[in-house]
Structure 1
């Protein structure tokens, strides 16, 4: 044995991978932990989606290898979804690549564009996988700040003042995780202009666009965006299908072909039953989205009440399936997280895992039934 790759030393195990083992151990010991930490929808997909999967499983012709680009019907359904949701026209044959979850797309895109020594602009706070994948590929993360009083606008003036000659990619994410900053069409227009000016590939990670938003936005709805931007999207949050691992990458055809060269060496296509379920989900009517908005809106009100009880402050003008909270003076986020977990068996996430700007913040998930959120509130109330 001659040892492991030095790349392994550049990253840590994903926080939730380790922390959920601890939570699972506590549950196995009889402690009824309420998990308000992770953003995994607790709801089931629409029954028609499950039925479409079942019907495919019964077909003996459906169990072989599938196309790396997904079946045509799936790509057409994605194109229709983008037209209906965002007003974006996509060519199903050349501008859409189905993925086994959008998280794998972060790796595929990074492998496609990055060489050792390249730099990548990453939001702070932001999704930890952006930085982890960048480091694994021996590129360098460059963190940029967000103005949460301006819908999460990146500090472009600060970026303009530095050397951007080595920057190859810029990750953006609206609605933003973990803060819930909504972004705006004006911000996306600024980002497209910035990317064009500096010849940077703009990558928009967009899984939360239907969760507590007034208007779902796609970067590709901005004029000229297809020249410089690509977008990841997912069925995990919008259609309650996180474990199905169905995502998509959309954007300019020549770049998609390069990504496909990477992807085709890493998997053998998506099971047909998953694709059929995805097609059904993507064709659900407006009532599905309306019900989702109402459900998460009701849960968020209860989480706000929980945050008030803990003395946390938060922005009510946010979106997505989390509430981002600042801890009160004199306390630390880790103190609050540990106290809730070990004294009240309630798990929430410390903001530091999303970058230095997450210090003194916590993130609370909306992915729990209302009665569980109320139970968490009463556990704290009765101990006060």
Structure 2
């Protein structure tokens, strides 16, 4: 290969680019990024970046030997797969021999009729900077969505002295991602720390009222908020691939070698890869550690190198001074068994998830369980 183009200048894209160089590939490397930023870490954006006295640095240090041509602030708008070229919004046609698709998953927005100047999303560094400025001016916050992002936002804002109303259409927080047992634990934690948590509730209208937003909810109440944050998930950025011939329904579909087509790989939130732990089912995994591992696999796939075992997903999240750790696959679609439910001096939860009787994941909400989680990781890695 003479030229590799990486579309997406985030964690997965940087990981793929760095692995190409680590393997000794010395061709032309072009990295296209829609944001005007060099790669940066997203996890801090919902925590310390928002509330620290001075915004911390989140950009990754770039390897000295990366030797990439950076096309930042440039969006990919099309892919000519037969002609092996990426089309950009500024009219360029960038030819490639190998392509890594790492365009991530932009934040979902509220319905168009709920658009309002006080409504924010949080996905990019620019989003975080805007939200940080808004938080400095108003402390009454309504967060829509009680998943990982919404929960971390509610936790951080409450810890800083803000007033948070957390609404979600689901009956429990983190339900889809971690299941009902963890959801009940998280709901109790939110309420114990003063969050006005409202399950089975949606936003039905937003209007101006006395210098704030009057947010009408499906439970019949109206909440005054200085700002509203939509934390309702993300959708894979595949619109620019329409007409390319790639299978890109709910992410770019990869085969077991890590390729979507000859010379085309994908990594990160946009990739849908077969998972041995789930019997080969292709799923997307939206976690930082997975983006790093998938970037490595994408580079190796392009170079024709063995990818090695599929990485076992993992995540950690912060809620009101507590951490949730998991390995493998978790969520309400899997059968859950609580192994340990807590102790007086350190309440918490340790649980297992199974798919068709097979262990596929585990979760821990107390530090004393982390050693057990390490053992679960070893078991899952051995069986994947």
Q: Give TM-score, length-normalised by structure 1.
A: 0.31
Higher RCO structure (Cα 8 Å, ≥6 apart): 1
Please state which structure has a larger fraction of its residues in strand: 2
